[in-house]
Amino acid sequence: MTARPSLTFERRCWEAGEATVVGVDEVGRGAWAGPLTVGALVVSPHGRVNGIRDSKELRPNVREQLFERIDGWARAWSVGHATAAECDELGMTDALRLATRRALEVLGAEPDRVLLDGSFNFVDWRPSTALVEGDRRCLSIAAASVMAKVVRDRIMSGLATEFPPYRFESNKGYPAPVHRAALATHGPCAIHRLSWSFADALPNAEPVPSAAHRDTTSALATYERAFAGPGGTLF
């Protein structure tokens, strides 16, 4: 049975005097290409959007429908990204911190408490609580996961036109068979995470050329042109 997230954890915070509670969740951690994306969201105290679940439990068309409804309902929401190059340079934990800082910086609300999915609390600069299975149990985290997933999927679909062999529009940078086959034939492109173990086994193939994404700066410029949050703001 699919879990239905609730406001139990948010209410506990509100009762403790923490008025602004921000749910945070990430997508793209296990991808081989593209950004790591973190969503941050403050639920509205008024009304409710039915059907919110952990984004992994929802079909793409349902996520898109929920995205529009959550956008109109949430008190505030934002996303932040760490590029593939930043994931390589920093490692996943620090890249996760970077993407989260970027999301919180543009949220438009000062958090009194941050609620995170998982057992590891990586937000050590704000009052925060890690919740095991938070994306299934906590409404603000689940809603943040939906927003982050839709934004990242849109970005990867847009990047697919730059790197056609990898079919990013269908696999979103995860290791699907067509993605693996393209890597074996062409090698990595400029948005692959080259520090991941999959890169060690790649042949000396010629990389797929592209006019964009030769470095972190140009990749971020592309993400800024993608839909990335209220007002189109990325950071």
135 is a domain residue: yes
pLDDT given for residue 211 in this prediction: 40
Are both 65 and 178 inside the same structural domain?
A: no
C-alpha dihedral sign at 171, 79, 22, 63: negative
Segments forming the whole domain that contains residue 192: 164-217
- Residue 32 sits in a domain of what CATH number? 3.30.420.10
Secondary structure letter of residue 201 according to DSSP: G
Q: Is 120 exposed, middle or buried (0-12, 13-18, 19+ CB in 10 A)?
A: exposed
Q: Is 72 exposed, middle or buried (0-12, 13-18, 19+ CB in 10 A)?
A: exposed
20 is a domain residue: yes
222 is a domain residue: no
Residue 51 structure tokens: 């059907």
pLDDT given for residue 47 in this prediction: 80
C-alpha dihedral sign at 204, 167, 58, 33: positive
Number of separate helices (H) and strands (E) present in the chain: 9, 5
229 is a domain residue: no
232 is a domain residue: no
pLDDT given for residue 190 in this prediction: 83
Q: Tens-digit pLDDT profile for the chain (235 aa)?
A: 457 899 999 999 999 999 999 999 999 999 999 999 999 999 988 888 888 888 888 888 999 999 999 999 999 999 999 999 899 999 999 999 999 999 999 999 999 999 999 999 999 999 999 999 999 999 999 999 999 999 999 999 988 988 899 999 999 999 999 999 998 888 888 889 888 787 777 766 555 554 444 554 555 555 555 444 445 444 3
Are both 112 and 176 inside the same structural domain?
A: no
Are both 26 and 142 inside the same structural domain?
A: yes
Tell me how far apart the alpha carbons of residues 190 and 75 are, in angstroms, rounded to a whole number: 36
Are both 37 and 152 inside the same structural domain?
A: yes
pLDDT given for residue 220 in this prediction: 55
